[in-house]
């Protein structure tokens, strides 16, 4: 999927929402437990309900891996389902991988050759040769962790060099010099909206994947004000606020409502910026 | 597995070798392809052949994940086989995970509750709350990436703060203040033996997992000279040099020979240091 495809999709849906499929057997509605594959049944209902309001889906691998081979099959079925029924939606495998060159090759193969996802999140800690194997696939995306939304992001990402550069700024700057850097996006936590300006100063054109926006779209105005560029340049994720909005048999309809609320705020931002 | 258990094992085997099970269907001997589960068949032979010379096994998840559910079953069978037949050997899942708190919880569950491994490698980029869920399991180990052996390690791990501290030094120093930091080990690349002194200045007592030692044990003297403490404090990994030493039907015997050569060098170091 090219950035042009992505922008078309944003314009068509009037949205830059990503629905995070952090599917946990303990949290899905009880009535689904009688299904053969409750995880896939839940995902399928959430995907069908939210697809009109979003442009991307992001299953987090941790949730699937914690269920062993059963979880892995549910992950694969989910990706196949999106590909078949919603081919214009970006599929992000949230995996936060990163290893030495030949090993990252194996991960890249898993996700892009076999997995058929469009993008994978990667940790920058090991540097260029741990990321470049993922960048070899045309029209696939690497979403590099830059500034995450959790408390621990202060521990290392906010380390400053002698000339005042933060580690997350260094990650942005250095990674932009790598081959195929036009296939890079970056994870930038929404709780650091004041940092978005610093990010945009280094990567004005890159897409940013922004996690941590609240269930009701809280904080999204600030993200749009500081992070949006004239090609949108944003993919904002919401997981629990949408997929676990309700635990009854009406969970899918409620998820659709929550996704639509966020999409509506996004539409206003896109109009204000003159993108739609 | 406690550090006392580990030291007992080192003394008994007169070795601190870890055999890396980076098993690749393309690289294993051709005659194994007729087996139902060639990956497991290969691992079983390598484990039986090298167990007398080593104290740990380290399957790298990338290799198993790249084969989908088939690979994941081979991984699980491999872990079960080591647990059953070689319960004193440390099992390290080389996964380099790390995510926000609740998601790291899921990964920790995968490996320690279901996976039954003794240790897992974790990336420090996201900070304390991405690592602490792994530290909640008594007698389990987190092996934090500090200074890796690949070329890209220079990109970020060698970033220096205003007062001259490298990022990898900060990772060592800060992580030692976390709860259950006695369950932390660190990945320190063997190609940076001169850096081992800096590492030992910050974590004199921690175990270091050292990758990148050559097939014939090249570089191991330098690692022992700069990294060994009076409890040994080293686990040195070799993967390809051992497991792919030979691609004929004699692969297991050749792997045993290579492992034994390295073990022999290690024994000398342990004697010189008065540990055995």
- Pair A5, A255: CB distance under 8 Å: no
Q: Would you put residue B226 in left (φ > 0), alpha (ψ -120 to 50) or beta? A: alpha
What's the CATH code of the domain at B142? 3.20.20.70
Query: Which of A63, A148, A161 comes nearest B100 by C-beta?
Result: A148
| Most distant pair of Cα atoms in chain B: their distance | 59
Q: Is the pLDDT of residue B265 over 70?
A: yes
Report the percent of chain B where pLDDT is more than 70: 97
Residue B216: per-residue pLDDT: 47
A246 touches chain B (CB under 8 A): no
pLDDT per residue over A11-45, tens digit each? Answer: 999 999 999 999 999 999 999 999 999 999 999 99
Using a CB–CB cutoff of 8 Å, tell me whether A152 touches chain B. Answer: yes
What is the predicted pLDDT for the residue at A107?
Answer: 87
Mean pLDDT, to the nearest integer, of B154-166?
96
pLDDT number for residue B215 = 54
Residue range B162-188: average pLDDT? 97
Residue A215: per-residue pLDDT: 54
Per-residue pLDDT at B218: 56
The neighbouring-strand residues paired with A145 are: A187
Domain that holds residue B13: 3-272
| Residues of A designated as active site | 96
Mean pLDDT (chain B, rounded): 93
Predicted pLDDT at A58: 98
Number of independent structural domains in chain A: 1
Q: Which residue has the higher pLDDT, A39 or A189?
A: A39
3-state secondary structure of B25: coil
ipTM of this complex: 0.94
A102 — pLDDT class (breaks 50, 70, 90)? confident
Q: What percent of chain A has pLDDT over 90?
A: 82
The chain A residue lying nearest B25, using CA atoms, is: A106
Which comes out higher in pLDDT, residue B118 or A215? Answer: B118
- Across the interface, which of B151, B160, B174 has its CB nearest the CB of A155? B174
Among the partner residues B72, B150, B162, nearest to A101 by beta-carbon distance: B150
More confident residue, B11 or A192: B11
Yes or no: say if A198 and A192 are a contact pair by the CB < 8 Å rule: no
Helices (H), chain A: 3-13, 38-50, 61-65, 68-85, 101-108, 128-135, 153-156, 167-175, 193-202, 220-227, 240-243, 251-272
Would you call A89 an interface residue with chain B, using a CB distance cutoff of 8 Å? no
Count of residues making up chain A = 276
Beta bridge partners, B145, equal B187
Average pLDDT over residues A210-230: 82
User: What is the pLDDT, as a whole number, of residue A268?
Assistant: 97
In angstroms, the Cα distances linking B40 to A60, B20, B37, B72, B242 are 28, 14, 6, 11, 17
Confidence band (pLDDT; 50, 70, 90) for B19?
very high
**CA torsion, points B170, B175, B177, B181, in degrees to nearest 10?**
-150
Find all residues with CB under 8 Å of B264, minimum gap 6, and list them. Answer: none
Please determine, for residue A218, whether its predicted confidence score (pLDDT) is greater than 70. Answer: no
* Chain A residue with minimum CA distance to B149: A100
Helix (H, G, I), strand (E, B) or coil at A27: coil
- pLDDT tens figures, A235-248: 999 999 999 999 99
* Most B CBs within 10 Å, among A40, A60, A156, A190, to test the B interface: A156
Question: pLDDT (tens digit, 9 = 90+) per residue, B202-243?
Answer: 999 999 999 877 654 558 988 999 999 999 999 999 999 999
What distance in Å separates residue B198's CA from the closest CA in chain A? 19
Cα separation, A171 vs A190, in Å, equals 18
């Amino acid at each position: 999927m090219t950035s042009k495809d992505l922008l078309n999709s944003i314009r068509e849906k009037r949205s830059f929402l990503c629905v995070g499929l952090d599917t946990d057997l303990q949290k899905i509605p009880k009535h689904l437990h009688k299904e053969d594959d409750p995880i896939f049944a839940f995902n399928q209902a959430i995907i069908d309900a939210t697809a009109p309001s979003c442009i991307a889906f992001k299953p987090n691998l941790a949730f699937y891996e914690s269920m062993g081979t059963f979880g892995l099959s549910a992950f694969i079925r989910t990706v196949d389902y999106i590909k078949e029924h919603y081919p214009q939606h970006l599929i992000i495998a949230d995996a936060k991988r990163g290893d030495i060159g030949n090993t990252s090759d194996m991960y890249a193969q898993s996700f892009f050759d076999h997995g058929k996802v469009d993008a994978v999140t990667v940790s920058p800690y090991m540097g260029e040769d741990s990321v470049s194997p993922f960048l070899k696939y045309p029209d696939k995306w690497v979403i590099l962790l830059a500034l995450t939304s959790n408390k621990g992001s202060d521990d290392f990402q906010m380390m400053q060099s002698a000339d005042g550069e933060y580690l997350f700024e260094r990650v942005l700057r250095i990674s932009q010099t790598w081959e195929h850097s036009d296939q890079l996006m970056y994870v930038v936590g929404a709780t650091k909206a004041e940092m978005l300006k610093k990010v945009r100063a280094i990567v004005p054109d890159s897409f940013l994947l922004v996690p941590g926006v609240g269930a009701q779209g809280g904080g999204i105005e600030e993200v749009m004000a500081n992070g949006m560029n004239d090609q949108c340049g944003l993919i904002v994720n919401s997981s629990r606020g949408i997929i676990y909005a309700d635990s009854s048999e009406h969970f899918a309809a409620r998820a659709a409502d929550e996704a639509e609320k966020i999409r509506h705020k996004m539409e206003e931002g896109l109009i204000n910026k003159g993108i739609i």
